[in-house]
Amino acid sequence: MSAPATERAEAATERTSAADDAAERGSLDIDRAVLRKIAEHAADGVSGTTRAPRRIVGVGVGTQGSSARLTGPDRELRVRLDLALRYPAPVRDTVREVRERVREELSRQAGCRVTAVEVTVSALVPAPKRDRVE
């Protein structure tokens, strides 16, 4: 065997033993609250989403970002999102990007397969008004 082939074989053996070591360490369980936070954070990071004013009995109590509910088995999740969009963001394009980002992040960070992402746009929030200079 040539020197580069020997190095490749040794590297492959090291990767295999690292995977075996990981399997021997135990299992990983990710709490649903963590998965929910990953989905919410992914949705809030999409351009066009925004925080909506939050009111209780007509009194403003701050703002809130998207909220998610997860159903289904841990490795085949269904995600329901409720979020606000910045007006006049293109709703269909923004929602499509939210769905993609949520799927990608749950897969990348937690190894979850997302079977569906249902999105409810609960508010369209206008961009803040800029002061006019005359």
- In this predicted model, what pLDDT tens digit does every residue of 20-73 receive, in sequence order? 666 677 888 889 999 999 999 999 999 999 998 877 787 777 788 999 999 998
pLDDT cut 70: percent of the chain above it: 81
Q: Can you tell me whether residue 113 is helix, strand or coil?
A: strand
Q: Residues 117, 46: contact at Cβ < 8 Å?
A: no
What's the pTM? Answer: 0.74
Pair 106, 76: CB distance under 8 Å? no
Residue pointed to by tokens 């990953």: 38
